[in-house]
């Protein structure tokens, strides 16, 4: 199962902040491999 498949299977359980972070990760897959979750959150303004 890919990350995208996993997230899509749990989409109804994600809160609005989770969705913001997921959309950022999905749009910036290569960059997110090399940055911390703190940087991702900062980039998402959450």
Quick check: 13 and 22 in contact, CB under 8 A? Answer: no
Domain of residue 25, residue span:
3-44
- Other CB atoms within 10 A of residue 22 CB: 18
Token pair 């749009």 is found at 27
Residues in the chain: 46
What is the rounded distance in angstroms from the CA atom of residue 30 to the CA atom of residue 6?
A: 18
How do residues 1-46 score in pLDDT, each as one tens digit? 999 999 999 999 999 999 999 999 999 999 999 999 999 999 999 9
How do residues 31-43 score in pLDDT, each as one tens digit? 999 999 999 999 9
Number of domains into which the chain is organized: 1
């Amino acid at each position: 199962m890919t990350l995208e498949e996993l997230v899509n299977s749990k989409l109804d359980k994600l809160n609005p902040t989770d969705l913001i972070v997921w959309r950022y990760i999905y749009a910036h897959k290569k960059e997110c491999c090399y940055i911390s979750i703190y940087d991702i959150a900062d980039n998402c303004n959450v």
